[in-house]
Amino acid sequence: MSRLIGIVGVPPLAVIEKINRDGDRIVDLDEPQIRAPIDQTAAHIPRVYCAILRTVVLNSLHLPLDLVYIDVGPGKCDCALHVSDILADLLRVPVIRTRNQDTRSFGYPLCTSRMPLMEKVSRITKSVQSAAPHAPVPPCQPSCGFWGVPPRDFALLDLFPETTHVFGWTRCMENKTPADLELEHQVDPTIPMVFFSQSFCAKSALAKHLADKHPRAIAIDCDVTPSSSTRAKIEAFLELSGVVPDRRHTP
Amino acid sequence: MLLADFGTSYSKILDTAKGDTPLILPTKELPRSFMADLATGHNAGRRSRRSINELTALARGGYALIQRPDFVLLDCGSRDIKFVRFQDGKVADMGWNAECGASMGFTIELLSTYYNLDYAEIPPPTTGFSVTCGVLGMSHIFDAIIAGASEAEAVAGFVRGIALNAYRFAHEPEELYLSGGLCSNPLFVACLPGRVHTLGRFVLLAGLQATLAQDAHPDSLLPGQTKS
């Protein structure tokens, strides 16, 4: 009988290969998997904390997990290291800490493809669950760039046009090298770029730093869900940069 | 054509068929059925047939009014602060602070009513409080009054803190254009460092007018637009 394996971050390829080989099912604990108030986690993790890791705890409280792999190395963050302690105490199943330092590049065809950004990032996060090479996807001419981690709430992404290229840790995810800082620093100075970080994430310093150096960029952060002013800021930035934002979802 | 800038506290409305003088009325007194043709601000999406983003309206209005390639424009409203910086006729930087700048203008107005103060009669103080948000800054006022300051002195310190916070938010330019309701507050304006030019409360309406003008002449360019 297949087991339900929770993953946090991007575990090493060898771990993914083993899970796939054993025929177990993977659930990405970084993404919302259940409908429950995130404040249910307040007894275990501070409210003022990375919303992705609060989501990890929320999922872990509800899902019938058999095992958790949580990446705590340079490809994830110190916050995950501490959350691994919380999970180990909270759950009655093994919590295995990994330190993914894989260097074999799988490429990032989805990051440079033409498709709605929400779908693009969904497919990238899903691709972590497979050890297979990526299917080829034709690249497109970029109109703007999104740099950062996959946001806790993908609704943040729906303002961006289909020709948005993806950079930062999300690109490292697709490349299956989450600790590749050089790739994470990569930007395109010829297009307007939005540098995103989760509120209370250490990467917010890098987002601000890279945005300051970029000729046409803004840095934004977002906690659990994007506020109307965060969405308006992205919309105005795109509009004033000559990019037509997708306003279908504007409230 | 009915244009509207729906602010949190006040709405600014211009009927282009009736002249150039906008009407200002408290947003809470606006009839629920009121519908503009083109609008910006809170609820613009629901209260108008077509809406544009506030920052976009600010940039377009500022560019139309200031008519310079390089400038920084800071808008201080009831609920939030926002700025745009133009360089070589293009938007080079922008920001919108609805969280830590929360309720600054609204709080300043509440304080003048509560303490019965006229901001035109209060000289700018040389020192003030470190204020990050209108609500959190209130406790500084109460502490200062308990410590012996007059109500006017305490509120002046608060206003100075808010002005400096807004100025830093715009990255401390040597020359600053100011728009929004706080243009009418002499104490706030006097507390801003550097050279300050006040543009008043209708810059976002000017942005809506610039949008209309562009609709009428699609070949003209708005800030950020490039010929394809």
Q: Cα B55 to the chain's mean position, in Å?
A: 11
State whether residue B103 is helix, strand or coil. coil
A9 sits in the region (left: phi over 0; alpha: psi -120 to 50; else beta) called left
Structural domain count, chain A: 2
Q: Tell how many helices (H) and how many strands (E) occur in chain B.
A: 7, 10
CA torsion B12→B13→B16→B17, rounded to 10°? Answer: -150
- CB-defined contacts A:B, below 8 A: 48
State whether residue A84 is helix, strand or coil. helix
Distance CA A196, CA A147 (A): 6
Q: Does residue A211 lie within any of the structural domains?
A: yes
Nearest to B98 among A229, A241, A251 (CB): A229
Q: Nearest chain A Cα to B98, which residue?
A: A229
pTM (2 d.p.): 0.82
Which residues in chain B touch residue A236, judged by CB atoms under 8 angstroms apart?
A: 53-56, 59, 94, 96
A67-71, strands of its sheet edge to edge: A25-28, A4-8, A67-71, A95-98
**Residue B99 to residue A229, Cβ atoms within 8 A:** yes
Q: How far is B210 from chain A (nearest CA, A)?
A: 14
B53-228 adopts what CATH topology?
Nucleotidyltransferase; domain 5 (3.30.420)
Residue A43 neighbours by CB under 8 Å, 6+ apart: none
Nearest to A240 among B80, B98, B223 (CB): B223
Domain region containing A79: 4-98
Disruptive mutation site among B8, B50, B55 for chain A (greatest number of A CBs within 10 Å): B55
Do A22 and A90 have their domain in common?
A: yes
Q: Does residue A222 lie within any of the structural domains?
A: yes
**Residue A236 to residue B59, Cβ atoms within 8 A:** yes
Quote ipTM for the complex.
Answer: 0.71
Question: Beta strands of chain B (E only): which ranges?
Answer: 2-6, 10-15, 23-26, 36-41, 48-51, 71-76, 81-87, 90-97, 175-179, 195-200
Q: Does residue A185 lie within any of the structural domains?
A: yes
**Residue B224 to residue A242, Cβ atoms within 8 A:** yes
Nearest to A240 among B45, B56, B80 (CB): B56
Distance CA B20, CA A198 (A): 45
Q: What is the largest CA-CA distance in chain A?
A: 55
Q: Which residues of B78-96 are buried (b: 16+ CB within 10 A; e: fewer)?
A: bbbbbbbbbeeebbebbbb
Do A137 and A85 have their domain in common?
A: no
**Residue A241 to residue B91, Cβ atoms within 8 A:** yes
Tell me if A61 sits within 8 A of A90, measured CB to CB: yes
Q: How far is A92 from chain B (nearest CA, A)?
A: 40
The tens-digit pLDDT sequence of chain B (228 residues) is 999 999 888 899 999 998 878 999 998 899 988 999 999 987 888 899 999 999 999 999 999 999 999 999 999 988 788 999 998 888 888 888 766 555 678 888 889 999 999 999 999 998 888 876 767 778 889 999 999 999 999 999 999 998 998 999 899 999 999 999 999 999 999 999 999 999 999 999 999 999 999 888 776 666 655 544
Q: Can you list the residues of chain A whose pLDDT is less than 50?
A: 251
End residue of a domain, out of A98, A129, A158:
A98
**Residue B224 to residue A235, Cβ atoms within 8 A:** no
The tens digit of pLDDT for each residue in B140-184 reads 899 999 999 999 999 999 999 989 989 998 999 999 999 999 999
Do A20 and A132 have their domain in common?
A: no
Q: Does residue A66 lie within any of the structural domains?
A: yes
A233/B contact by beta carbon, under 8 A: yes
Closest CA to B7 of B84, B78, B106: B78
The tens digit of pLDDT for each residue in B110-119 reads 899 999 999 9
**Residue B55 to residue A242, Cβ atoms within 8 A:** no
Do A76 and A197 have their domain in common?
A: no
Where do the domains of chain B lie?
53-228
Do A216 and A183 have their domain in common?
A: yes
Do A134 and A221 have their domain in common?
A: yes
Residues of B near A (Cβ–Cβ under 8 Å) read: 45, 53-56, 59, 80, 84, 91-96, 98-99, 223-226
Q: Does residue A11 lie within any of the structural domains?
A: yes
Disruptive mutation site among B91, B97, B227 for chain A (greatest number of A CBs within 10 Å): B91
Q: Does residue A107 lie within any of the structural domains?
A: no
What confidence score (pLDDT) does residue B228 get? Answer: 40
Distance CA A34, CA A136 (A): 32
**Residue B96 to residue A233, Cβ atoms within 8 A:** yes
> Which CATH number fits the domain that encloses residue A66?
3.40.50.11890
Disruptive mutation site among A143, A199, A238, A240 for chain B (greatest number of B CBs within 10 Å): A240
What confidence score (pLDDT) does residue A43 get? Answer: 94
Q: Nearest chain B Cα to A236, which residue?
A: B56
Do A136 and A81 have their domain in common?
A: no
Distance CA B201, CA A124 (A): 46
Do A41 and A145 have their domain in common?
A: no
Do A137 and A195 have their domain in common?
A: yes
Do A195 and A138 have their domain in common?
A: yes
